[in-house]
Amino acid sequence: MPEPNSSISSFKQFLIRILLPLILIVSGCGYIFNFFFEKKIVLQNQGCGAYKVNRIINSDYPDEIPIFGSSRAEGGFIPDSLGKNYFNYGLSGSKYDVTLFFLEQECMKKKTTPWIILNLDLDGLLYGLGDIANYIPNSGLPQVKSLLGEEYRAYFRLPLLKYYGRFETYVRSYVNEQVELTKVMDKGASIEKNELPSWEFAELVTQRRNSPTLFICDTLLTQKLFRLITTHADRKFVFIISPYHSSFFDKFLNPEMAIRFTDTLRSFSNVSLFDFSKMPLSDSMFLNTSHLNFKGAVVFNRQLRDSLKAIGVK
């Protein structure tokens, strides 16, 4: 017969000899690991989305000209080709709610330069956070928490555990920055070197021709964008529609909506807009039908630089 208290004493033994020491060891080592990982990998690497979110919130570079947008911004704009003060804040996978978050943070800063570059995608103004890993280090801040909305998790506050399943994202970005094996990294820009074989690109073109695109503007996002433009009359907003492959326009269902929207943007006195969407570029300059590769980005940035110079952006 087992002793009546043996179960409790056995559990106590388990708690004291195994569970508590395990929790202590993992938390202790985790805290130290987390400290160095965050300091040396996550927030030190300009190509990492988390670095960009941290930079826009916590750093001040008065003469910096920021470039905001999605992966088309991140992989299409080469800051060093445009000038010495540019920084690419483009976040892969994100939509305009994130662009507006960056814009809002930027507008709160006191700057010596008024210029802000915004990439405009032809799917319109939509919602999409992209990779949550970009927000975790700053998820404790109210503005980031509010941006995350339902995606916010309480464990984002726990050292080490908050990065569970996402370490690879940061390390990949760090390695890309250091080695530049498959990408060219430049002040936040992360541009693919890869040139697809022609048969593979042809497949992408076929896919694109079978998938319709609509320009949709969410009312709240549009209002927010217009409000930011009007309330910050001292800032100059330059919207750029970066190049698309010609196949993109085969099933673009409502170009008139896009034109109406860009016309409205142009009507603001502090807004300029350059449309490079139909810039003639060869297939080898595209990563896919909506993204440039490095070869294409170089050509595009050369023209963009001239256009920006023409309106006085320095």
**Site for another protein, rule CB under 8 A:** 2, 6-8, 10-11, 13-14, 17-18, 21-22, 25-26, 29-30, 33, 160-161, 164-168, 171-172, 175, 181-182, 194, 200
Query: Nearest distance from residue 164's CB to another protein, in Å?
Result: 6
DSSP 8-state code for residue 151 = G
User: Do residues 51 and 43 touch, judged by C-beta distance below 8 A?
Assistant: yes
Question: How do strand 115-119 and strand 65-68 relate by DSSP bridges?
Answer: parallel
The least CB distance from residue 246 to another protein, in Å, is 24
Closest distance of CB 123 from another protein, Å: 24
CB-CB contact of 51 with 275 (8 Å): no
| Residue (205 or 221) nearer to another protein, CB | 205
Closest CB to another protein among 32 and 253? 32
Distance between first and last Cα of the chain: 86
- By C-beta, is 157 or 309 nearer to another protein? 157
* Token pair 């985790």: residue: 30
Q: Closer CB to another protein, residue 29 or residue 214? A: 29
* Closest to 117 in 3D by CA, of 148, 82, 163, 145: 82
Integer angstrom CA distances of residue 246 from 105, 163, 221, 276, 290: 35, 40, 28, 12, 9
- Give the helix/strand (H/E) hosting 125: strand 124-125
SS3 119: strand
Task: Kindly state the smallest distance separating residue 8's Cβ from another protein, in Å.
Answer: 8
199 vs 280, beta carbon nearer another protein: 199
Q: 109 vs 166, which CB is nearer to another protein?
A: 166
Q: How far is the CB of 161 from another protein (least distance, A)?
A: 7
Cα separation, 29 vs 35, in Å, equals: 10
